[in-house]
Amino acid sequence: MNWRAAIKGGIRLILISIFVLNWACIMPSIVDAAVIYRPGYTVVMANERLTVFATDKNGNLTHRWYDTAKDAWTGWVPFKDGTITSAPAVVMANERLTVFATDKNGNLTHRWYDTAKDAWTGWVPFKDGTITSAPAVVMANERLTVFATDKNGNLTHRWYDTAKDAWTGWVPFKDGTITSAPAVVMANERLTVFATDKNGNLTHRWYDTAKDAWTGWVPFKDGTITSAPAVVMANERLTVFATDKNGNLTHRWYDTAKDAWTGWVPFKDGTITSAPAVVMANERLTVFATDKNGNLTHRWYDTAKDAWTGWVILR
């Protein structure tokens, strides 16, 4: 994949989401054993199309999109050419849509939409080290970077080195373990990674440009979560979503007026069984998740009513 061209050509859209919950990311001491959590989703607005990606029950990448001509969602359309074992992550760069995931051997793998052929490529794995979570991907500071959790529970990352026209190997952070897939966002000129720590707290770290170094983990010790987080910068607000111990969607945001984070604010109108995914598209902030019956469901912020809708199932 010619990332040099993609990066130098400019980025039309950066999805910062996700994502996502791998089967191994649940903390049994916190989650009721009767609750079955599923891998989450990733969602992107690209080429004027809102698309949701997921892993189906057969381990295939699958996707569905909003058909504007029909004003309706399509059904699921799977890729049946190789299984994956995590939720996917997706990024759009220079009109190239690329999906990352973890394959059955624990390797990071990826595929992209080849516009010249008007078709998707097959999976192309990185065979230089295993990961144990779904990946998260971001284009920031002219660098395409993938984050994941390694076999030791450390956050690890790799990036595309434009000078060498090649990917680096995995570079781990060995200063504290996490128990979920990471989520990453570029907001307010700061690259920040969020995850769930071993105590079930949301934790985060960021790249300190003044010191040209990463900070250590800084946890929020005011309430546990049971999924990987999802994060978005929308309407001038940085917001983190997750699933709480009761199975409710919950969220918190950075209050710029107070220069501080709010506490967790749950939605108590229906449980979900996956990590959430979030996207800002068509001037609408929308959250996707799996409901207790295994259906994709979503809700959005209704700006006209200045309130969130309830859950609306996509069958």
At residue 258, the 3 state secondary structure works out as coil
Full set of structural domains in the chain with CATH: 3-314 (2.120.10.80)
Q: What is the pLDDT of residues 174-227, one digit of tens each?
A: 998 899 999 999 999 999 999 999 999 999 999 999 999 999 999 999 988 999
Whole-angstrom Cα distance, residue 239 to residue 202?
A: 13
Q: What radius of gyration do the chain's Cα atoms show? A: 18
- Give the containing element (helix H, strand E) for 8: helix 3-8
Whole-angstrom Cα distance, residue 18 to residue 184?
A: 8
Q: Other CB atoms closer than 10 Å to residue 114's CB: what's the count?
A: 13
Whole-angstrom Cα distance, residue 197 to residue 1?
A: 34
Tokens of 64: 């569905």
Q: What is the pLDDT of residues 117-161, one digit of tens each?
A: 999 999 999 999 889 999 999 999 889 999 999 999 999 999 999
Looking at the predicted structure, is the pLDDT value of residue 88 above 90?
yes
User: Would you state the pLDDT for residue 1?
Assistant: 44
* Beta carbons of 232 and 239 less than 8 angstroms apart: yes
Q: Is the pTM of this model over 0.85?
A: yes
Q: What is the pLDDT of residues 239-286, one digit of tens each?
A: 999 999 999 999 999 999 999 999 999 999 988 999 999 999 988 999
